[in-house]
Chains A and B, each alone.
Chain A
Amino acid sequence: MGNYFQPEIECASPEQIRAWQDERLMHTVRHVYDNVAYYRNLMKERGVEPGDIKSVDDLYKLPFLTKDDLRDAYPYGLLAVPLRDTVRIQSTSGTTGRRVVAFYTQHDIDLWDDCCARAIVAAGGTKDDVVHVCYGYGLFTGGPGLNGGSHRLGSLTLPMSSGNTDRQIQFMCDLGSTILCCTPSYAAYLAESICERGLQDQIKLKAGIFGAEAWSEEMRRDIENKLNIKAYDIYGLTEISGPGVSFECSEQTGMHINEDHFIAEIIDPVTGKVLPEGEKGELVFTSITKEAFPLLRYRTRDICVLSRKKCSCGRTHVKMTKPMGRSDDMLIVKGVNVFPSQIETVLLNKGYAANYQIIVSRENNSDRLEVQVEMTPEMFSDAVSEIAVREKELVDALKSMLGIYAVVRLVTPKSIARSEGKAVRIIDKRNLYE
């Protein structure tokens, strides 16, 4: 209790939040309609005018926006203010297709910083903390986001960026970093490296804020135990601003969405129909305070559930679950939906390292799913039969989680590339689109 950056907003009454949303939504719709031809055309196609949107209840009337729209409108097609009013560009990593760029005015950056400051405070951060940011800096929003939030809060900020693990650990020990911000896979790698070097006593970390990729509860426990910290999730996407769209509180049961800036909806990814609270579906965001790059009903492709259950931390903003999968990442193998996070859960439950690789191929017109796992000292035995038994247990556990058979391949420790940015876990060799 009591860890708020902006208590009057974070703990506002639901009526107050709703009033902000109604007013800001109307304003934003008018703003994009007047200033962005792309939106004007989309809305005209749907037969919607700004006057039709009087409250959040009218949101469903607006068309959706997808990543394809952002690519079509690249680079300036969705910019809602004159170029001279913008101060920053960030961009997505662009693994497929054209990059997506997002623009910010100073006002937009300030609000983003507020969101990240809320996340740091929720993780126990104060002005007295040393915030160690090893998200990538540059076009990626991770570094700039947490950096900005830490500045806003007034914490000492270490802009480490990603990579150079030796230096990360050295600074962590020398400067007494207390809050670590990075991707969960890099946090796991750092934790492993710190334990290997026996430096657990030399670090002063108390909390970590980890986001930008999927991670499981088991991975959280693993990092928390190794580093003796509390690990908090943070969520965001470049299109909407960056990290800090939602963040975890002390309860660690989901992330509060900053509803004074973003309206969240859950839709059926196939029909586009809005689903009631508590149902699983695709998360859709409407940003209602942005000047340069406001997005209406942007489909995130993240599958999750929203909950308005009262939270013990005192915050009143709606909570979202950790994304349970991404429709982008989702693999369809033998006609079954497979999410990497499911595989990770099984591996960690069975005591394997969080490092794994999924290889999908096609043999004789049938899909083959292979999970490569690094051998660990705990799983090793002098007897082939004992290892075979453990392998079989893993295959069975995967089968019961995924519903399909996966081949397990044990590989040399540390042979799967450790990522210092986003993890590449899936290799799909099927060339389904050729």
Chain B
Amino acid sequence: MTVKQLSVFLENKPGRLAELTKALRQNGIDMRAMSIADAPDFGIARVIVDDPYEAACVLKDAGYVLSVTPVLAVAIPDEAGSLYEILRVLGENEINLEYTYAFPTAKKGQALMIFRVENNEKAIEALSGLSIVPLCQDAINQL
């Protein structure tokens, strides 16, 4: 029920992000979502791709330092208050949310969000109370 996200170290220097996306594109890897975490002197690019295993190999070969992190990809009904509901449930179950970002889709009426939480199992269980089932990797690939 989790999706494999690649977290890639980026030096704080112009052009580093462009190089990263180029490396992925040149190897035929399709990037589905991305978010950048910034520190004063470096950054971490968090990316969701169609083939995380291949992408990790390609980037390691290209000299990148990276880690693979299981995160939750959740389809959120496009109606008022639905994000609030999710955050409320996570909060009530004392599950720390480290970060979240949006995942662009072509599908109308639905938003996808990536959640990085402290404990995936616990979060999945909590979300089941809302009848929400996080997407698995295959579902992402078919988007």
Contact = CB atoms under 8 A, between A and B. Distances in A.
Contact of A412 (B16, B39, B98, B116): B16
Given A383-B98, A384-B37, A387-B39, A411 B11 contact: yes
Given A375-B9, A382-B116, A384-B37, A413 B65 contact: yes
A376 B116 contact: no
Q: Which of B7, B9, B66 is the most central at the interface, judged by chain A CB atoms within 10 Å of its CB?
A: B9
Contact of A410 (B41, B66, B69): B41
B59 to A, nearest CB: 11
A382 B67 contact: yes
Nearest to B5: A382
A380 B44 CA distance: 10
A388 interface: yes
Interface in A383-434: 383-384, 387-388, 408-415
B46 A414 contact: no
Nearest to B64: A413
Chain A interface, >50% SS class? loop
Given A409-B41, A410-B11, A411-B11, A380 B63 contact: no
A96 interface: no
A28 to B, nearest CB: 54
A377 interface: yes
A316 B138 CA distance: 72
B53 interface: no
A413 B9 CA distance: 9
Contacts, number: 51
Interface string A345-383: 000000000000000000000000000000111001111
Contacts of B41: 408-410
Contact of B65 (A376, A384, A408, A409): A376
A412 B41 CA distance: 12
Interface in B55-97: 63-67, 69
A414 B11 CA distance: 12
Nearest to B43: A384
27 contacts: A375-B9, A375-B42, A375-B65, A377-B67, A380-B65, A381-B7, A382-B7, A382-B46, A382-B67, A382-B116, A383-B98, A384-B37, A384-B38, A387-B39, A387-B42, A408-B41, A410-B9, A410-B11, A410-B41, A410-B42, A411-B11, A412-B13, A412-B64, A413-B9, A413-B64, A414-B63, A415-B11
Closest 3 CB pairs of A and B: A382-B7, A412-B11, A382-B69
Interface of B: 5, 7, 9-11, 13, 16, 37-39, 41-42, 44, 46, 63-67, 69, 98, 116
Given A381-B67, A384-B39, A412-B11, 5 more contacts: A375-B11, A380-B7, A382-B44, A411-B11, A412-B13
